[in-house]
Chain A
Amino acid sequence: MAGLGTATDSQGEVFAPTRNWLLLPSWLVIGFFLLMPVLLMLVYSFLTKEFRGGVVWEFSFASYDKFFLDRGLFGDEGPFVQWAYLEIYWRSTWQAGLATLLCLLIGFPTAWFIATRPVTSRTLWLFLITVPYWVNLLIRTVSMKFLIRDSGPVNEGLMAIGLITEPIQMINTDFAVQLGLFYSYLPFMVLPIYASVERYNFALSEAATDLYASRWQVLALVVIPAVRPGIVAGCILVFVPSLGAFLAPDLLGGAKNWMIGSLIEDQFKGAAGNWPFGAACAMILLSMVLILLLFYARNQSRGAAR
């Protein structure tokens, strides 16, 4: 945006036309692959469901009504609040929140460790962080399913050494979903925090220690404020995709532990076959994320203005 609008200095004036041309491909890609589909979803969410899974071009609030209100099986009761979908959204939110917290707890020390290695070995450590991405996420999620199922190596191993007598139910639980989310998105936490810590001026820690701060005070009062941009970026990068995650809840959570992703998938591909409703679910998710980010951006600009 800034590139298009703010050519105020003399050099900017000269280069402005060239720059606009150079930005054109990006705008086309963003417009075609991001804005268009979102607009299409927005339109679909206000259309009427067609019997065999398509849509009828008739304006309707039915999808949003269905999401929030319970009017009974034949539409003649209530309306009461429809808790079924809100519950899925609530579960998604806390699952994503917990995954973010776990990623932060593990990711921060990891990033700190890498950033404090000698420059020569840092590259190797970073490279190792990206290794899991060589294998498709689907394959990795499925193999996790094999690991934690009742007859998987974890349960078998624990039984073999006599710690447990019967398998612990891990698959198809919230725990399994959490494990999947945490594992899938951990690198998204590590990398931005690493970038922040790498720029951190370690003399600040010495200065704080010199001024009588304990280790924890150095961490809380100096280090974390200094690397906060990396922490916030990492949290957004983990929380947002976790919220809409589909593979982990679908493969590890089973039928009872749905998250938003599973609900939406079911509307488009699965048994429900309700495109307008799926589109409405997606729009509600999008609104949640946007509100969250706007809230954060406002906080940021207020902090910067201070």
Chain B
Amino acid sequence: MAIEIPAIDIVGVDKRFGVGPGAVTALDNVSFAIRDNEFFTLLGPSGCGKTTLLRLIAGFEQVTAGDIFLYGEHVEKLPPNKRPINTVFQQYALFPHLTVAENIAFGLRMLGRNKADIASRVDEMLALVQLSEMGGRRPTQLSGGQQQRVALARALAPAPRVLLLDEPLSALDLKLRQQMRIELKQIQKETGITFIFVTHDQEEALTMSDRIAVMSAGHVQQIGQAEEIYEAPVNRFVADFIGETNFLDAEVLETNSSASQIRLPGGVTVQAMGRAEGPQAHVSVRPERLSLDYQGDLPCMVQRLIYLGTDTQYVVRLADGSELVVRRQNAQTGTKGFQPGEAAAVVIDPGAVRILAD
């Protein structure tokens, strides 16, 4: 089997803004590789360094230390206009004095393609983003969603090897955003271009990505497929940032490389996924992996509930005073729901409890 050359290889990258004691560290010793033809997402809260990383790849910023390779080639010396990478900007940055077609043609013109090639490529791109009728309009005459498509078409027109997308859907309303997620994924599949997508929206990340890098405070916390990140978060930050979760402290009774026997605060002993590093461990458990019944693992008191349609979210108090969030399907066995003040018990799914690294 041939060794696959990664689309982007980031090796020990540091990025600091400013010098001296006032310097801000945006990225701290970041290393990972993005595969060819992958839909890769950088996910994290604002200020985590994901946009800085994108700008380093595009060439708008220079690394403080470390190396970035594009298909095996060192790109640090290449200015942004020499990198076969295009960007879809957050606020689109469409040229207001040019028509939609001229905007899409811009990159091809700069590359010196001939007129006939440019014209046919522009038509192709307009068709791809379903704006064939709009070529003669100005960007200001388009809706937000249409502008977003033009920005995408403009960045795809020169057929870059890597496409960077900087929170491109954040300015759209919910319906449009959901529709664009499907289209983006579709376009990535059709074109076969490596997409690097930056977002703070976990739902966007989970629905579109082949792999996700969860970032926080200038570090990559975890890289993996959507299921891995959601089901097996490595640490408290990832578990907390992706979806909803409950955190508990547990006593470790027995541990091996993949699973441990632990005792939860209520005294119940359960099997937990992951290896524990000491006698005490932080564990997380998703609300939907818990249920409520009259008999169960942890006796509790129902505090309050939120009706969510398909299921109901309960906040319950355990014997030691800590609170847990439990999600219970409403269709479940036709039983009536619990009411605040009612005594109940939390039932834990086997394999639902995970040991966190910190």
Contacts and interface: CB of A to CB of B under 8 A. Distances in A.
Contact of A208 (B60, B85, B106): B106
Contact of B91 (A203, A211, A225): A203
A212 interface: yes
Interface string B139-182: 00000000000000011001000000000000000000000000
Contacts of B338: none
A210 B80 contact: yes
Given A209-B79, A211-B106, A213-B81, 7 more contacts: A203-B89, A203-B93, A206-B80, A207-B93, A208-B110, A211-B110, A222-B95
B350 interface: no
Contacts of A217: 110
Contacts of B81: 209-214
A212 B111 contact: yes
A226 B154 CA distance: 19
B60 A206 contact: yes
Interface in A237-260: none
Contacts, number: 57
A279 to B, nearest CB: 43
Interface in A198-245: 201, 203-204, 206-214, 217, 221-222, 225-226
Interface of B: 58, 60, 79-82, 85-87, 89, 91, 93-97, 106-107, 110-111, 154-155, 158
Nearest to B105: A211
Given A203-B91, A206-B89, A217-B110, A211 B158 contact: yes
Interface string A17-44: 0000000000000000000000000000
B107 A212 contact: yes
A204 B139 CA distance: 13
A207 B95 contact: yes
Contact of A226 (B87, B97, B158): B97
A226 B96 CA distance: 8
Nearest to A217: B110
B97 A207 contact: no
A222 B81 CA distance: 15
A112 B154 CA distance: 28
A220 B190 CA distance: 35
A217 B81 CA distance: 11
A210 B80 CA distance: 6
A207 B110 contact: no
Contact of A213 (B85, B87, B96, B110): B110
Given A212-B107, A212-B110, A217-B110, A207 B80 contact: no
Contacts of B87: 206-207, 210
A249 B96 CA distance: 42
B231 to A, nearest CB: 37
A211 B108 CA distance: 8
Contact of A209 (B80, B91, B97, B155): B80
Nearest to B84: A212
Nearest to A201: B93
A222 to B, nearest CB: 6
A122 to B, nearest CB: 20
A206 B79 CA distance: 11
B135 to A, nearest CB: 14
A143 to B, nearest CB: 43
A200 to B, nearest CB: 11
A221 B91 CA distance: 20
Contacts of A206: 60, 80, 87, 89, 93
8 contacts: A201-B93, A203-B89, A203-B91, A206-B80, A206-B89, A207-B94, A210-B58, A210-B85
B96 to A, nearest CB: 7
Nearest to A203: B93
B134 to A, nearest CB: 16
Contacts of B58: 210
Nearest to B104: A211
Nearest to B91: A203
A210 B97 contact: no
A212 B83 CA distance: 8
B242 to A, nearest CB: 30
Q: Report, nearest first, the 5 A-B pairs whose CB atoms are least far apart.
A: A211-B107, A212-B110, A207-B93, A203-B93, A225-B97
Contacts of B79: 209
Contact of B89 (A207, A212, A213, A225): A207
Contacts of B111: 212
Interface string A89-131: 0000000000000000000000000000000000000000000
Q: Find the residue from A204, A211, A222 having the highest chain B CB count within 10 A.
A: A211
A207 B95 CA distance: 9
Contacts of B154: 211
Contacts of A207: 87, 89, 93-95
A162 B15 CA distance: 53
Contacts of A203: 89, 91, 93
Contacts of A221: 106
Contacts of A210: 58, 80-81, 85-87, 155
A225 B158 CA distance: 23
Contacts of A213: 81, 106, 110
A198 to B, nearest CB: 16
